[in-house]
Amino acid sequence: MARRGVIEDLQALRRFGAVNFVESSFGGDGRAKGVCRPALSKADLDARLWFAERCADAGLTPRIDRFGTVLAGKGGLLCGSHSDSQAQGGWLDGALGCAYALEVAREVPGVSAVNFQDEEGRFGTLTGSRTFCGEDLDFDAMSLSPEWAAPKQTLGEALEAARPTLETSNYFFDGFLRIEEHHRGFFEAHIEQGRRLERAGLECAGVSSIVGLRQLRITAFGEQNHAGTTLTVDRRDAGRALLRLCAEADEAFGHLAGWAQDLVWTFGIVDLKPGAASIIPSLAEAVLQIRDPDDDVLGAAEDTVRELAKRAAVDVRVSHDRPPLLPTPMDEAMLGHLREAGVETEMRSGAIHDAASLARAGVPAAMLFVPSIGGVSHAHHEDTRDADILKGAQVYVEAARRMTSSSPR
């Protein structure tokens, strides 16, 4: 069967950090394909060493840097994605783009393959691809995001811990790999992670732009006290204030979404301290993530939260939990090559991808999406039909061929 290598590569990659977990409520194909391969974990590093070997098999000379970012080949069209996963991740998020890049490396001359580190944000936002694009990040100031259940460490410490494993590779590069002048563009395939393609019955889509994102940390400061003896009038209940603020923000965003129909928002983390049934919380925190293709909508949403914070019953501080990301358009010429390769539709990406780092750095960037069953992602039962994976690979290879044979930027 054509392009069977893509499925085999995905299955091989899936073994690194495989989670044997069957969620019976899953309406998909019933196979459990979850992975736990967080950036710089043992499973992640092993997967990257594996990826470097596969690049060498395809005839591209790989290097693997202190991050575990793999760059194979010299110049030309850069193809790839990332192989790190969410803590409770699926087998295709990032991995699909890596497998497609290997397929292109085997079939199309004039390409390089890349596998970026920490796209999922274990330590920051797009840490690997931003470093690759020349940003100087302070690794010792970047520490594990609280949602990643693991020992607290800075990125600098995690890199030191990873070094012995990376050094075992013949391809180890003792530094950080950077984008090269002769890279003519970046082309990334990814699962859609939404339901638009599935609903429309389409096999793939080009990506016109990547949404902007603001992530706010909302912190309410109250006074710890006894939950039975403290009268309501005497309370400075941080938990109650935060819960009300979140519900009011949710209500307001609902109205905002009336005209900003792509707006999505998520309270993914809520934490009360000290966190006991009999104690009034002294501290309450929520992390709110807001995404929209229009930065003005993001600004309006943030303003709403700041207004609500001013009116809260206790002191509330609102801060950026990570630097805001502006909406990022993809390269028009490369979108043209995708259309020539048979891609009939375009959509915005609600997810952030490494392609955004490269586009922001001035590198022409494009993306191809394949359908996600039920729109599920960032979950163990994330999946895509084999036929869609294979069709996507065919389109990806064809588009890459066109991109490499067009005149360089």
**What track of x and - describes contact with a second copy for positions 347 through 366 (by CB under 8 A)?**
--xxxx--------------
Q: How many residues bind a second copy (CB under 8 A)?
A: 69
68 binds a second copy (CB under 8 A): no
Task: Compute the distance between CA of residue 179 and CA of residue 359 in angstroms, rounded to an integer.
Answer: 12
Interacting positions 222-281 with a second copy (CB under 8 A):
223-232, 234, 237, 239-240, 243-244, 246-248, 250, 257, 263-264, 266-272, 274-281
Q: What are phi and psi of 404, to 5 degrees?
A: -75, -30
Q: Which stretch binds a second copy (CB under 8 A): 72-80, 106-114, 154-162, 370-378?
A: 370-378
What is the closest distance, in whole angstroms, from the C-beta atom of residue 30 to a second copy in the complex? 16
165 binds a second copy (CB under 8 A): no
282 binds a second copy (CB under 8 A): yes
Interacting positions 312-331 with a second copy (CB under 8 A):
321
Which 3-state string (H, E, C) describes the chain?
A: CCCHHHHHHHHHHHCCCECCCCCCCCCCCCCCCCECCCCCCHHHHHHHHHHHHHHHHCCCCEEECCCCCEEECCCEEEEEEECCCCCCECCCCCHHHHHHHHHHHHHCCCEEEEEECCCCCCCCCCHHHHHHCCCCCCHHHCECCCCCCCCCCEHHHHHHHHHHHHHCCCCECCCCCCCCCCEEEEEEEEECCCCHHHHHCCCCEEEEEECEEEEEEEEEECCCEECCCCCHHHCCCHHHHHHHHHHHHHHHHHHHCCCCCCCEEEEEEEEEECCCCCEECCEEEEEEEEEECCHHHHHHHHHHHHHHHHCCCCEEEEEEEEEEECCEECCHHHHHHHHHCCCCCEEEECCCCHHHHHHHCCCCEEEEEECCHHHCCCCCCCCCCHHHHHHHHHHHHHHHHHHHHCCCC
Q: Which stretch binds a second copy (CB under 8 A): 10-18, 188-196, 293-301, 389-397?
A: 188-196
Q: Are strands 315-325 and 212-221 parallel, antiparallel or unpaired?
A: antiparallel
Nearer to a second copy, 185 or 239 (CB): 239
76 binds a second copy (CB under 8 A): no
Q: Out of 32, 56, 75, 88, point to the residue binding a second copy (CB under 8 A).
A: 88
Nearer to a second copy, 193 or 219 (CB): 193
What is the closest distance, in whole angstroms, from the C-beta atom of residue 78 to a second copy in the complex? 23
Q: Out of 195, 339, 385, 402, point to the residue binding a second copy (CB under 8 A).
A: 195
Q: Which stretch binds a second copy (CB under 8 A): 43-51, 65-73, 302-310, 368-376?
A: 368-376
What is the closest distance, in whole angstroms, from the C-beta atom of residue 22 to a second copy in the complex? 15
**What track of x and - describes contact with a second copy for positions 19 through 58 (by CB under 8 A)?**
----------------------------------------
Task: Compute the distance between CA of residue 364 and CA of residue 335 in angstroms, rounded to an integer.
Answer: 10
Q: Out of 44, 188, 192, 331, point to the residue binding a second copy (CB under 8 A).
A: 192
What is the closest distance, in whole angstroms, from the C-beta atom of residue 151 to a second copy in the complex? 16
Interacting positions 92-131 with a second copy (CB under 8 A):
120-121
Sites of contact with a second copy (CB under 8 A): 86-88, 120-121, 145, 147-148, 192-195, 211, 213, 215, 223-232, 234, 237, 239-240, 243-244, 246-248, 250, 257, 263-264, 266-272, 274-282, 284, 287, 289, 291, 321, 349-352, 372, 375-379
